[in-house]
Amino acid sequence: MQIASSVAQAVGGTGLDAVQPMKSGWYIYMHTQADRECLIQKGLVIVGKQITVRSEFAPKQAQSVKITLKDLPLHSIANNAVLMGLKEHCQVLSEVHYSNVWYEGKPTSIRNGDRFVYVAQQDVGKLPSQVKIAGAVARVFKPIALTKCKRCGKEGHHPSDDKCPVHASEVMADS
């Protein structure tokens, strides 16, 4: 009951559709997208403690990795086109999600244009840094620990990083 009353207080009405306890946390379902966005933006106060509400959960598959896509027009490229474009390079494990603008440490209801999906970890190395999707070129961002350096071929750093032995030796030679 505490969650239901906290949700009602946050969205100012009866927008709550369902509350579902899961192993990974509570799933809260709202009647409208506006109520959902309001809840994400405001968060919940439960027993006097402010709780941040996340808009989605990562797939519980241990071998999934979040990748972010930038430079895709929001309204002219559909999510199914994004999925089709990525499936040429990797196994996609989730639907397409949107990133929101953050303000003062909290997400707003304003989308920032970035989209993200979860993909199979073994396929991350196959993903290029840019992918053509429905005529647009999306930049692909993956966790730094899984990226391969273009200079030395090792994972976990960028070519201009001091961790790259090739870059480090070039810097020493220039000194």
Q: How many C-beta atoms lie closer than 10 Å to residue 114's C-beta? A: 19
| pTM across the whole model | 0.56
Tell me: do 116 and 167 sit in the same domain: no
Domain count, the chain: 3
**Which residues, in sequence order, are CB contacts of 72 under 8 Å at separation 6+?**
82, 113, 115, 133, 136, 138
Residue 82 pLDDT class (50, 70, 90 cuts)? very high
Are residue 98 and residue 137 in the same domain, yes or no? yes
Residues 137 and 68 in one domain: yes
Mean pLDDT, residues 37-44 taken together? 80
Compute CA 73 distance to the chain's CA centroid, rounded to the nearest angstrom: 17
Q: Are residues 131 and 109 in the same domain?
A: yes
d(CA 121, CA 59): 12
Q: Which residues of 139-169 are buried (b: 16+ CB within 10 A; e: fewer)?
A: ebbbeeeebebebbeeeebeeeeeebeebee
How many of the other CB atoms lie within 10 Å of CB of 62? Answer: 6
The answer to whether residues 15 and 32 touch, using CB atoms and an 8 Å cutoff, is: yes
Enter the tokens of residue 94.
């989730």
Same domain, 68 and 129: yes
Q: Is residue 57 part of a domain?
A: no
Whether 70 and 99 map to the same domain: the answer is yes
- The answer as to whether 37 is a domain residue is yes
pLDDT at res. 116: 92
Specify the 3-state DSSP secondary structure of 145.
Answer: helix
CB of 124 closer than 8 Å to CB of 146:
yes
Q: Is residue 59 domain-resident?
A: no
Spatial contact of 69 and 82, defined as CB atoms under 8 Å apart: yes
104 with 156, same domain: the answer is no
In a domain, 89, yes or no: yes
Kindly state the percentage of the chain with pLDDT values over 90. Answer: 25
The amino acid occupying position 67 is: I
Question: Does 78 fall in a domain?
Answer: yes
Confidence band for 151, pLDDT divided at 50, 70 and 90: confident
Q: Are residues 76 and 130 in the same domain?
A: yes
22 lies in a domain? yes
Structural domain span for residue 163 = 149-175
Please tell me the predicted confidence (pLDDT) of residue 38: 79
Quick check: 4 and 16 in contact, CB under 8 A?
yes
Cβ distance 90 to 126 under 8 Å?
yes
